[in-house]
Amino acid sequence: MVSIVFKAGAGDADDWQRQLSQRIPDLDWRVWPDVGDPATVHFILAFKVERGFFAQFPNLKGILAAGAGVDGLFADPDLPRGLPIARIVDPHMTQQMVQWAAYGVLHFFRRFDEYRALQAKAEWQELGSPTRHPNRVGVLGFGEIGGAIGRGLLGLGFFVQGWTMTPRDLGPIDNLAGLDHLDAFLASSPFLICSLPLTPATRGLLNRERLSKLPKGAVVLNLARGGHVVTDDLLALLEEGHLAGAVLDVTDPEPLPPQHRLWRHPNVIITPHESGLTTPETAADQIAANVKRILAGEPVQNPVDITRGY
């Protein structure tokens, strides 16, 4: 038997079970906290765990992240070193996130924010130029998702630059790398899209000082993690008019409480952490393949590097 404990947080447990049992015939499926004897558990499938979670399972063979971002697993400082950890890279999810980012950029670039406000007053007013901002987009983090977003926006006629921690060849897309070049990157990004992994090195990266480096009238999009952006700093710069708007799929805190000022800012668009969903139907193949690889002693696909934190 292959015993997997599923911890809720991404997708429906019954759906995961249905999809995985078609691919792993001897699946022993357990849903946390109803785990039976923890010593007989081989795999964890989870999106987010709490401190102390992994210590209860002494005989794990591998950890399967139920999403693309794995910061929720690192929330347990005792995430076992030395065990294979795999994350999800799902082209369906990536495509959804490209669409989300394109919508957010085009909303402001093509002045839909202004036309919505005019429509609310039933005012037929031609704004003249169809666009408002320079057509430049900066994508922070150029992994699977950031890279696809950058290429998607390139296809929509934007000049795209990508910022990465270490220098990378991004093909037709300009690369700026490292904290030394971050200010220059921000200064030339009227649209900034955050698609970084959340690690100790990137938490709070977009604070007042950094966001102030964006050109006046810039728009910030975040579809990574709320923890990348200092919410009060973002709000202050929106209220002061330095930023023209924000499109946020993730917030800090999350879920965003009903009384939070972000909800009511006219130039903030919020979606509830749904820019790209992990669907068991499309992700089950790679999870089942990784289970088989781990049992056969082979390296996993889409491995997580525990020292890098993503």
Q: Which of residues 12-41 bind ligand GLV (CB under 6 A)?
A: none
Cα–Cα distances (Å) from 151 to 87, 92, 192, 206, 279, in that order, read 22, 16, 15, 23, 24
Which listed range, 48-56, 63-71, 73-81, 122-130, lies at the site for ligand GLV (CB under 6 A)? 63-71
- Identify whether 225 is a catalytic site residue: yes
**Catalytic position from the list 30, 225, 242, 293:** 225
Q: Which amino acid is at 53?
A: F
Write down the least CB distance from residue 68 to ligand GLV, Å: 4
Which listed range, 14-22, 64-72, 120-128, 157-165, lies at the site for ligand GLV (CB under 6 A)? 64-72
The SS3 assignment for 128 reads: coil
| DSSP string covering 201-254 | TTTT-B-HHHHTTSPTTEEEEE-S-GGGB-HHHHHHHHHTTSEEEEEESS-SSS
- Identify whether 111 is a catalytic site residue: no
Of 11, 67, 104, 190, the one binding ligand GLV by CB under 6 A: 67
- 110 Cβ contact list (under 8 Å, min separation 6): 130, 131
Spatial distance between the Cα atoms of 176 and 146, rounded to a whole number of angstroms: 14
Of 288, 310, 290, 305, which Cα lies nearest the Cα of 17? 288
Write down the least CB distance from residue 205 to ligand GLV, Å: 17
Which listed range, 34-42, 66-74, 106-114, 170-178, lies at the site for ligand GLV (CB under 6 A)? 66-74
- Pull the structure tokens for residue 286: 């790679």
- 232 Cβ contact list (under 8 Å, min separation 6): none
Of 20, 27, 68, 140, the one binding ligand GLV by CB under 6 A: 68
**Catalytic position from the list 92, 260, 265, 273:** 273
Site string for ligand GLV, 247-286 (x = CB under 6 A): -------------------------------x--------
Nearer to ligand GLV, 136 or 273 (CB): 273
Spatial distance between the Cα atoms of 275 and 93, rounded to a whole number of angstroms: 8
Q: Residue 297: count other Cβ atoms within 10 Å of its Cβ.
A: 8
Write down the least CB distance from residue 198 to ligand GLV, Å: 9
Nearer to ligand GLV, 190 or 197 (CB): 197
Which listed range, 62-70, 78-86, 109-117, 166-174, lies at the site for ligand GLV (CB under 6 A)? 62-70
Nearer to ligand GLV, 68 or 139 (CB): 68
CA 200 to chain centre: 16
The SS3 assignment for 66 reads: coil
Nearer to ligand GLV, 67 or 280 (CB): 67
Please tell me whether residue 49 binds ligand GLV under the rule CB under 6 A. Answer: no
Spatial distance between the Cα atoms of 269 and 249, rounded to a whole number of angstroms: 8
Nearer to ligand GLV, 67 or 138 (CB): 67
Spatial distance between the Cα atoms of 178 and 164, rounded to a whole number of angstroms: 6
Binding site for ligand GLV (CB under 6 A): 67-69, 278
Active site (catalytic) residues:
225, 273
